[in-house]
Amino acid sequence: MSQAFARLRQPLRAASRQIARPSTRNATPTFRASFRRFNSTEAPKPPKSNTGLYAGIAGGALLAGIGFYYYSQGMNPLTAAKSGAQAAKVATNFVPSKEDYQKVYNRIAELLDEAEDYDDGSYGPVVLRLAWHSSGTYDKDTNTGGSNYATMRFEPEALHGANAGLHVARELMEKVKQEFPWISYGDLWTLGGVAAVQEMGGPKIPWRPGRVDGTAEKATPDGRLPDASQGADHLRNIFYRMGFNDQEIVALSGAHALGRCHRDRSGFEGPWTFSPITLTNDYFRLLFDETWVWRKWDGPKQLQDKSTRSLMMLPTDYVLVQDKSFKKYAKQYADDQDLFFKDFANVVSRLFELGVPSEQFVTKEPWIMKNADEKDE
């Protein structure tokens, strides 16, 4: 089985691309990909049929598949996870190690760069958006949603407006799933998010496996993800429900340094920074340094920078410099990229674990996965 997992790393990684003009900030990392903003969605057409993607995990030799089988027989997730792992060990004498998950990471990192004709040249943004949207449905009051169960595989959650276009990421991750069938979709998608952040030059994101795949009955209702047209109260309602505070809301918003919106997808249009495939604190610095005016056009309400009119901010972005509490943290991150990276890593790690009982994780302490450029060191 291990031979099937071996993959050769492409000798050259896709170079970062910049738009409009070089950023006025020093972007230290080189290999980046664009992160899609909260509501920057793909074309609103229904995802194409993905029978293989939505099907239950089959095969007695598959760790996640066996776990799903036990779960479907009525066991709780913890029992299903443990039973699946034990059955896999007995049936195949294979229990995935950190090194096995590193191989999955490496393969994801390869695929992120195979996107010459996709947006700014990387699948990183849409893969990170998949990890975020599959985790951000968590409701702490009802203990529902989150990255456990990977319910975006099923309708109607797969067809929610906020998830439009994520079939691109799910299909990409399905390629990895076919090569590493033992990994659960929840672990795969969140590990993809980790790879996207790190390969885009962001901080190391602590991560650990243990999510199990559930059934369609666990799918979450629509409306649990942010609406870009709203204000501070809306952001707090959405993120407080997940268990985050104001500082963590602002830190997560810093991912908007990456990516762009598309008029034919979310309705909004344009990138947030001049380096949309480089994770820096430029998003925060531009919020304070640029003059932002409301764009006059026939699309939804958004702002543009006065100097070049090539950048955009959304209502949910602009509230970070209007709301007193949000503004305090946004200014800290504008002044200190290291602080932003530290807080961003912590909150993203928490985000990716929402909805997963701690007993399910296979290791007490999260792992730090090597970047693709470090894997041979």
Catalogue the active-site residues.
133, 272
Alpha-carbon distance of 27 to 223, in angstroms, equals 35
Give the number of other Cβ atoms within 10 Å of residue 25's Cβ. 18
Helices (H), 217-323: 232-242, 246-253, 282-289, 315-318
β-bridge pairing 303-305 and 312-313? antiparallel
With beta carbons less than 8 A apart as the criterion, state whether 337 and 280 touch: yes
Tokens of 101: 């998950």
- Secondary structure (3-state) at 278: coil
Burial of 355 (0-12, 13-18, 19+ CB in 10 A): buried
With beta carbons less than 8 A apart as the criterion, state whether 294 and 282 touch: no
- Secondary structure (3-state) at 270: strand
Residues 138-160 as b or e (16 or more Cβ within 10 Å = b): bbeeeebbbbbbbbbbbeebbeb
Alpha-carbon distance of 26 to 17, in angstroms, equals 14
Q: What is the dihedral of CA 67, 73, 76, 79, to 10 degrees?
A: -50
Q: Looking up tokens 């407006």, which residue turns up?
A: 161
Alpha-carbon distance of 258 to 134, in angstroms, equals 19
Tokens of 319: 């509230």
How many residues does the structure list for the chain? 377
